[in-house]
Amino acid sequence: MKAAYDEDFVSRGARIPSGNRLPGVPQLAAYAELAWQPVADLTLAGEAVHRGKVHVNDANDERPAPAYTLLNLRVSAEQRHGAWTFGQLLRVDNVFDRRHVGSVIVGDGNGRFYEPGAGRSVYAGVRAGYGF
């Protein structure tokens, strides 16, 4: 994304030139998923999530939050018994437990721009539904 200022302006007494990147907006955001269904009602999937570097202030003079790529895995299953449907999900996010900046505080006056992203996390869920 080309998120840049198209005109010069003044912020807090400093001149911000046109062409500077908008803080808080990654230069690139991408998502890819590869899913496989070896048998009916069972799905295995891997996801890759990429975020480009993120500037943290209008002047673009502080160190930007670096780019990162995370890998997530999931398995889901579903069973049908008459009008009932049951589902299960197991998901692991950030499989390699990569340290990354998950978000930034744009223009923080104390220089504390960077907030850590979540480490490896596991999510499990079940659901039941009845069709009338």
Rounded to a whole number of angstroms, the CA Rg of the chain reads 21
Residue type, 94: N
By residue range, what is the domain housing residue 126? 9-130
As a whole number of angstroms, the distance between CA 99 and CA 33 comes to 21
Q: Does residue 115 lie within any of the structural domains? A: yes
Model's pTM, two decimal places? Answer: 0.83
Q: Does residue 48 lie within any of the structural domains? A: yes
pLDDT band at 37 (very low <50, low <70, confident <90, very high): very high
Q: Does residue 2 lie within any of the structural domains? A: no
Q: Domains in the chain: how many in total?
A: 1
- 129 backbone dihedrals φ, ψ, rounded to 5°: -140, 150
pLDDT digit string, tens, across residues 14-25:
899 999 999 999
Q: Does residue 33 lie within any of the structural domains? A: yes
| More confident: 27 or 42 | 42
Q: Does residue 3 lie within any of the structural domains? A: no
As a whole number of angstroms, the distance between CA 120 and CA 114 comes to 19
Q: How many CA atoms lie within 13 A of 92 on its CB side?
A: 10
As a whole number of angstroms, the distance between CA 102 and CA 68 comes to 9
Candidates 46, 52, 100; CA nearest to 71 is 46
Q: In this predicted structure, what is the pLDDT of residue 109?
A: 80
